[in-house]
Amino acid sequence: MSEFHSIGLIGRHESDSAVQSLKRLKTFLEKGGYQVVLDNETAASFVADGVRVTSKEKLGELCDLVIVVGGDGSLLAAARALAKFSVPLLGINRGRLGFLTDISPDEIETKVGEVLAGKYMAESRFLLDMSVSREGKPIGKGSALNDVVIHPGEYIRMIEFDLFIDGQFVYTQRSDGLIISTPTGSTAYALSGGGPIMHPKLDAIVVVPLNPHTLSSRPIVVEGSSEFKIIIGDENVALPHVTCDGHEQFITQPGDVIRIHKKPHRLTLVHPIKHNFYETCRSKLNWQVK
């Protein structure tokens, strides 16, 4: 008997291919006797008579498993909303790269069926919490499964800031910005910025400067429990922006303080039984094989 009974579905409602996969998945699950629950946005994309509809956050309370149909961006959004509920996520790739959504659309019945039968791998990932304060008062907060990025926004100008890790001063930097990334995000924007690939099981965070004015400023890998404080410099022409997974955005001012640390709630990702991180890197990053 399956450990999963109520299954939530989240999909890219603006994508015709994702909607097709959602319909196929819904039919498969209902035939198997599972209760299907859709979030509001997903339900708006196709007629789903008799299916329970709720908010994305509520899925975490109602479901034993949530299946995300879309690209990595769709799974990142689901992770930010659902991590605090400890509901596992399974991804079906209807995006481009698909590092996190690793079941192909033509394998839905086979691979999802195996997961429901208990043949799967569970992987724990941590997220980051970010907050911005001004004159000691909070003005914004967000969370990220991939990364928190500080950048100049719409202007092509260097920005200046002070970086502290665990209360210790690291440097004053002038650059195009800074990426603070989890192991999950190390194969995303941080990789494009010259950061290292980190295995998902690592309890570590990488700090990647974006085009630093001092060329000796290189990526730094620190403990996952590290706490970061970034103080926006007084001499900035551009007002630095802060984004979480490229989604939530806050515009800072000189003197603002950004704090980043590990989120207390972890995310459980579900993979097919033969999932292999290195094979994923080979296929997605076009690594050479014999």
> Measured between alpha carbons, how far apart are the two ends of the chain, in Å?
42
Tokens 């479901």 identify what position? Answer: 63
More confident residue, 93 or 262: 262
In this prediction, residue 2 carries a pLDDT of 73
Q: Which domains does the chain have, with CATH numbers?
A: 6-118 (3.40.50.10330), 127-264 (2.60.200.30)
Element (H, E) at 201: none
- Over residues 3-8, the mean pLDDT reads 93
Judge whether 157 and 237 are in contact, CB under 8 Å. yes
pTM equals 0.92
SS3 assignment, position 111: helix
Q: Which residues are catalytic?
A: 72
Q: Does residue 248 sit in helix, strand or coil? A: strand
pLDDT for the residue numbered 47: 66
- The answer to whether the CB of 129 falls within 8 A of the CB of 138 is no
pLDDT in tens, 208-249: 999 998 888 999 999 999 999 999 999 888 899 999 999 878
CA distances to 7, 31, 91, 160, 182 from 275, rounded to whole Å, are 21, 26, 12, 42, 20
Which tens digits make up the pLDDT trace of 9-67? Answer: 998 777 788 889 999 999 999 999 999 999 988 888 776 677 889 988 889 999 999 99
pLDDT exceeds cutoff 60 at 1: no
CA distances from 185 to 73, 251, 262 (A): 12, 22, 14
**Spatial CB neighbours of 255, under 8 Å, sequence gap ≥ 6:** 134, 135, 231, 232, 234
